[in-house]
């Protein structure tokens, strides 16, 4: 069953064609990685899926429903959730309060406390719970925001560069976190530059280049694809 379906999605910023007739289908239960050079339009695709940007043309279907015209918060209620590229935690509030704000619409009282505790354990942030989120390390902020996104129990979790700024060990731990969530039934679409992470978690990989779907397949197929290597090399020369 397909959970998310993008049909002929187009988006222009002035003269820039950032999303060019993108077709993408996500199967329920898969971990799908979206890769591509800087400026390929990956984050913009997320913003289209979330309703922060509106496509010039095309449709977005989620669990069979056309959500193209829905407001962002309504899409969240349908079962979407996101961790942004730049960590979007509530900087001036404590770690605990960050999680409380994420959890409070589904849990109350003692149950809320228990859920916060469970999430703190899952994220390995128990000893940081009283800290102001703005003082966390970059990696911890990433985890906190992943935790907030996950706390909504989404059907589809969007992760924009979840391991940016993490050490190889932390990256690996994040990969395991994602796999555990996936094992519990969460579908994941992750933008990532870290190939070790992609290799660790991805069931399928889509390469985006100049706003277009450039290639799609397993990680081995993508790595073996000379055209893909060429666009990354081209980026390196530019």
Q: Which residues form the interface with other proteins (CB under 8 A)?
A: 50, 52, 71-73, 76-77, 81-82, 84, 88-94, 97, 100-102, 104-105, 145, 148-149, 152
* CA atoms of 138 and 171, how far apart (whole Å): 12
In this structure, is the dihedral angle defined by the CA atoms of residues 59, 60, 65 and 67, taken in order, positive or negative?
Answer: negative
Residues near ligand ATP, by CB under 6 A: 13, 16, 18, 36, 38-44, 85
Give the range of 82-90, 177-185, 206-214, 230-238 binding Mg ion by CB under 5 A: 82-90
Label residues 173-196 b or e (16+ Cβ within 10 Å = b): bbbebbeebbeeebbbbbbbebee
Least separation, in Å, of the C-beta of 227 and other proteins? Answer: 35
Least separation, in Å, of the C-beta of 36 and ligand ATP? Answer: 6
Nearer to ligand ATP, 21 or 85 (CB): 85
Least separation, in Å, of the C-beta of 85 and Mg ion? Answer: 5
Q: Detail the DSSP E strand segments found in the chain.
A: 2-13, 16-27, 31-35, 57-62, 65-66, 80-83, 156-160, 187-191, 204-209, 212-217
Nearer to ligand ATP, 7 or 17 (CB): 17
Q: Enumerate binding residues for Mg ion (CB under 5 A).
A: 43, 85
């Amino acid at each position: 069953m397909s959970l998310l379906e993008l049909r002929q999605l187009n988006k222009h910023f002035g003269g820039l064609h950032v999303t060019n007739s993108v077709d993408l289908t996500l199967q329920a239960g898969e971990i799908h990685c979206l890769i591509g050079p800087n400026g390929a339009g990956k984050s913009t695709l997320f913003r289209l899926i979330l309703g922060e940007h509106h496509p010039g043309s095309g449709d977005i279907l989620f669990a069979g429903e056309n959500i193209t015209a829905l407001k962002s918060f309504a899409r969240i209620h349908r079962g979407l959730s996101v961790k942004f590229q730049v960590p979007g935690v509530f900087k001036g509030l404590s770690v605990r309060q960050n999680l409380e704000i994420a959890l409070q619409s589904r849990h109350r009282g003692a149950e809320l406390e228990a859920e916060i505790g469970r999430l703190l354990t899952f994220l390995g942030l128990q000893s940081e719970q009283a800290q102001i989120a703005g003082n966390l390390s970059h990696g911890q902020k990433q985890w906190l925001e992943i935790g907030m996104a996950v706390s909504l129990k989404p059907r589809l979790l969007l992760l924009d560069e979840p391991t940016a700024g993490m050490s190889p060990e932390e990256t690996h731990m994040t990969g395991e976190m994602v796999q555990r969530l996936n094992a519990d039934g969460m579908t994941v679409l992750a933008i990532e530059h870290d190939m070790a992470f992609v290799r660790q978690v991805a069931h399928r990989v889509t390469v985006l280049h100049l706003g277009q779907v450039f290639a799609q397949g397993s990680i081995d197929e993508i790595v073996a694809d000379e055209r893909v290597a060429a666009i990354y090399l081209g980026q390196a020369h530019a």
